[in-house]
Structure 1
Amino acid sequence: MKSFVLAFVTFFWMLGSAFAATILEPSNSVVVVETVGEIANVTASKGTAVVNMDEDGVTRLIFIAPNDIPQELVELSYQLDGEDQNTTFRIIDGASVFGSNQTYDASLKALFILFVLAIVVESGLQLLFRWRPYLRTFNTSGTNALIAFAFSWFFVAFFELDIASRLVNAYLGISNGFDNSTVGYILTAMIIAGGSAGVNRVFRAFGIRPLGPPAEVAGPKDDTTAWISVTIARNEAVGPITVLYGEPGQEAVVGTVNGTSDRGWFSSLFLRNKGRFPESGGYSVNATTDQRAIRVFAQDKEGKPIPVLVWGPFAIGPRAIIDVVRKV
């Protein structure tokens, strides 16, 4: 994990350093510094550096870009009053404030590839995400994003599609830029996985895929509704546990719990909770100022009833989300 963070920080440090370079067209010149001090030990990796002094005693360091290496970085080092200084130039043919035409061509190609890959990944994953055994087993709000990212990462790494590095190289205007890397693959996979969700929204908007996000993610739909849920950790109860809801003394059955909730928090993010009603999301009820109560009814191993009042009676506010946890 530490090595990944270090690589991630290094990647963006290099990116920021490259963007800090001064843009020049081939054969053009620029005054790097004007000073009344001393300029010495001038060295340029490419091109020509000239130092001259006018009759007023002002010394100028002028850099003339080479005319035969477009899309390259040039380093200029010198000493100003004894202190080391460095300047980086990016030589781009047809450079302007908005970059060159080559930058736009390469960027559009990379973005088009990302868009197509997002469509392909989204269409393929929908087969899994709408599969009934998958929906009944996993908490889709926690697993869909993880699976989409993992699949996208495998896809781009297998086919060596580091689109993120290509985009960076295009924006920097250098031909020999960043090579394919783990950081580039991860960033590309994140873009594709996030883009697949965007493509899905576009498809739903056009009616191509009418299924919206699961209700368990959306929450209470308006101020007239609220959510309740009951999570059971078994102690004496055996068999199905009945969940009742309603006015105190007149509660009606709204569901049953057949399992127990004794898993860790991590597994609960990805698997449906068999010890909870409902297994994910919430059970929609009307928000009301009247008193409401939640009760569960269970039996012990000898068949004796175990009635338990688990919540209330209380009024329920608009869009309330009530999660009750009890040991039975």
Structure 2
Amino acid sequence: MRTGRYALVALAGVMIAALAFTGAQTQEAAPPAQPGGLGEGTWNALSGTLLQLLAVVIVMESALAALFNWRVFRVAFNARALKTPIMFGVGLMLVLVTTYDPMRVIIAASGISLAETQPLRLFFQGLLTTILSAMIIAGGSEGIFQLLKKLGIRSPETSQDEAAANALKSDQAWVSIRATGATEPQPIQIGIEELGSTYSAANDSLSYFFDHIDQPPLAGSIDSRTVWQRAKATFTADAYRFPSYGGRTVSADKPYRITATWISEDKPKSVGIFRGKFAPRALIDLSVDLSDDPAS
């Protein structure tokens, strides 16, 4: 991890040095295809500005990686959910405490005049470009890579592949389990088992909160929590949830059973949480209160 971080910093340094070098040289090589009919000078200025912005964002991401990869931070918070607002806040502070306003630089490099004398318009110009600059920085290096690919500065090779890799496949589903109500502060063990052809529901002695063994595959769940409760769950890691944030990928259209086991009065106790199938690409959040009796 540390080696990768150093590599990103080195890459950013090389990019900044390359920009300084190319800026001092005459433009001998033919420029890339220029979208929108941009002139050669405008295109070169815009390309250099975007590459400079990419270098700044890569260095910032490398610096913040120490926070995002900190074990205490990952245990207490949902790092994926908080990364964007933290990047936005840091980007906003960067723009406010320095003279670097990448959105204003990009607009100027595109040949659009920002000359204005009216104080009110000057205020809104500064406010708008400052917020947009912070949002660009919050998008991270991946967002700038996508912009460079759309402009033809970088080869468009991975965006669709990466999106497909991160998405659920047609034979997969996503499930999470939240279990509360254990009578003693003991760890709750969650078991997930794919049921084979030899499984017999009649021989299963557990009672289930959600028994879908003879029902259609589960396709989704409706969240009845308040907006504040959902927002809190999005940005924080839940100690009573498995996984603490995100979800567990399972196979669709195959029978599963999910169980919870914990120690109650010095004896192990087990209950069934779910039994049945998941529909393709289903997103399921199961929530149970272990103080209740699923058989009742």
TM-score normalised per structure 2: 0.56
- Is 2:138 the counterpart of 1:193? yes
Higher relative contact order (CA closer than 8 Å, sequence separation 6+): 2
Larger radius of gyration: 1
Q: Contact (CA 8 Å) 1:232, 1:327: kept in 2 or not? A: yes
For residues 140 and 308 of structure 1, the distance between their equivalents in structure 2, rounded to whole angstroms, comes to 31
For residues 174 and 243 of structure 1, the distance between their equivalents in structure 2, rounded to whole angstroms, comes to 59
Alignment of 1:108-147 (within 5 A): 108=47, 110-147=49-86
Q: CA deviation at 1:181?
A: 1.9
For residues 169 and 311 of structure 1, the distance between their equivalents in structure 2, rounded to whole angstroms, comes to 59
Aligned to 2:248: 283
Is the partner of 2:238 in helix, strand or coil? Answer: coil
What is the CA deviation profile of residues 257-279 of structure 1, one whole-angstrom value per residue up to 9, with x for unaligned ones? xxxxxx93322222211101121
User: Which structure's residues are more often strand, by fraction?
Assistant: 1
| Cα distance, 1:323–1:114 mapped onto 2, change above 3 Å | same
Alignment of 1:104-253 (within 5 A): 107-108=46-47, 110-169=49-108, 171-173=111-113, 175-176=115-116, 178=122, 181-198=126-143, 218=166, 220=168, 222-234=169-181, 236-246=183-193, 247=195, 248=201, 249=204
Aligned to 2:278: 316
Is the partner of 1:145 in helix, strand or coil? Answer: helix
For residues 276 and 230 of structure 1, the distance between their equivalents in structure 2, rounded to whole angstroms, comes to 6
For residues 251 and 266 of structure 2, the distance between their equivalents in structure 1, rounded to whole angstroms, comes to 34
* Matching residue within 276, 281, 294 for 2:258: 294
| Same amino acid, percent of matched pairs | 26
Is the partner of 2:99 in helix, strand or coil? Answer: coil
For residues 51 and 190 of structure 2, the distance between their equivalents in structure 1, rounded to whole angstroms, comes to 52
TM-score normalised per structure 1: 0.51
Q: CA deviation at 1:142?
A: 0.5
Aligned to 1:60: none
For residues 54 and 73 of structure 2, the distance between their equivalents in structure 1, rounded to whole angstroms, comes to 27
Q: CA deviation at 1:296?
A: 1.7
| Cα distance, 1:199–1:134 mapped onto 2, change above 3 Å | farther
Is the partner of 1:172 in helix, strand or coil? Answer: coil
**1:218 corresponds to which letter in structure 2?**
N
Q: Contact (CA 8 Å) 1:223, 1:319: kept in 2 or not? A: yes
Is the partner of 1:308 in helix, strand or coil? Answer: strand
| Cα distance, 1:173–1:243 mapped onto 2, change above 3 Å | closer
For residues 167 and 192 of structure 2, the distance between their equivalents in structure 1, rounded to whole angstroms, comes to 19
Is the partner of 1:279 in helix, strand or coil? Answer: coil
**2:251 corresponds to which letter in structure 1?**
N
Consecutive unaligned residues in structure 1, runs of 5 or more: 1-96, 207-212, 252-262
* Matching residue within 229, 234, 239 for 1:264: 229
**2:80 corresponds to which letter in structure 1?**
S
